Structure 1
């Protein structure tokens, strides 16, 4: 019976079906490579099945016996029938037959046997694993701008600037700029009517000091702005930093590229569980880039990417996208 098992295993390397006469047939179900997302591919695998309705003798086993045993076709058929009878007898008596890499058969109480497949691998597929490809970075082409378009754009910007200046000037005339005007007017009125008092120099000096304090307070108010919590924060710093950041290119640490939202969501949740709290998406045509962090400095992005490759071997395919 061991010879029968060896012949079946050898024939399944090149044939999708090998029939054991009056017993059943082994069928190989080949699963081609499957694509996961955009740049990931699963290796092809083989699934071994058994169909007990395939009992017709196709002569494939007999031909294999003839080549290895140097015998006639009739002798090979007799040898195959004998091995099949041994297989059936062992299944009835021991209620189990081990077929090696092909699997095993177990006899139940209702006189029906059940097949359990083994770890069958074809030699042509041995060693194949999941493959991940790094997508090429798509650079945006530089489109030359015509002079006429530049002139129209400059004229439009000049018109917008003029309207803005006019609006600001109108608001300055309508609304009071600050309380300094009231304080200065009060100081001027008191200084003009000071001749009615006996000591005119004292109120003038006091009012002048008040005016100077108001001016200093106004200058300080221009340098700081007060938050709702009562803390002084530089007023123009955030706006300047925001403008500088918007003009610079950003470097994204891309952890995966996907075609579907579900796969991107799973990767995002996995990154959050691993401690990447700056993760996000970059939605582009027909793809979604999931990144772990972003930088405005290219050297900082490269250092961060090296740390990711070092501490997270599962993300060794992470790369940098410049946008």
Structure 2
């Protein structure tokens, strides 16, 4: 079973695809750009990164393979672990691991995993069919030719100017220069003041957007991070039973927001509860919890369709 095809399919739709016990491939949208040296235009795309710290199974890849291969969740997980074990052995042996349509992995002298993304595929669906192209610079010589022709027909004759000793022209020239300098300085100051005000407004808007993103607990970071295990609060309302699969609705910086989310989900008929706080101090809220993995996956698919596509599965070992 070639799991790289399934990983590639999921990268079109999701920003993070976790390969259990191996790592995670993450994508981030990059804007269109131009190479000034080669005059090459590139369409908007998704850049791929690899994080070897994200190894906890979130159920996305396993459930996708189980559904397409028509096998059980546990069987798909065993097949994936068998393949990733061979991948890890190859990297530990100092060999390069080439994953088609995704990129190449290898370890450096410090035994750190390095990743070079593939440029063959653009995973941004909105840029489908758009490829890079080179533009030829355009040199316009029309104006130069007209000036040369004009000089040939009407020669320019420069005659010396007769200056009067009592003329005020030198003083007018200096006054004009001084007036021009004052006007330029005033214009520059107004432009600087306007730019400073605009910059302050942009920073305030950016701060508001960052606060909103933190409240909604939407994270994306391509740099490898040390992600410790989630710490369960002693006052958490999650029952200490055999339920190991939790469907997470979101995480909130303020506890009151988490409580309001729980009340709203309970009004919709869900067995919502407070899970605890994670390593970032965010309060996690769950839709429900299950002891059976297949039941949890079925409930997760239904919630993604009817409630929120951002819901995800947290499975405890």
For Structure 1 versus Structure 2, the TM-score category normalised by the shorter chain is: 0.3 to 0.5
TM-score by length of 2: 0.37
Question: Who wins on radius of gyration, i.e. which is larger?
Answer: 1
Greater helix fraction, Structure 1 or Structure 2: 1
User: 1 or 2 for the larger relative contact order (CA 8 Å, sep ≥6)?
Assistant: 2
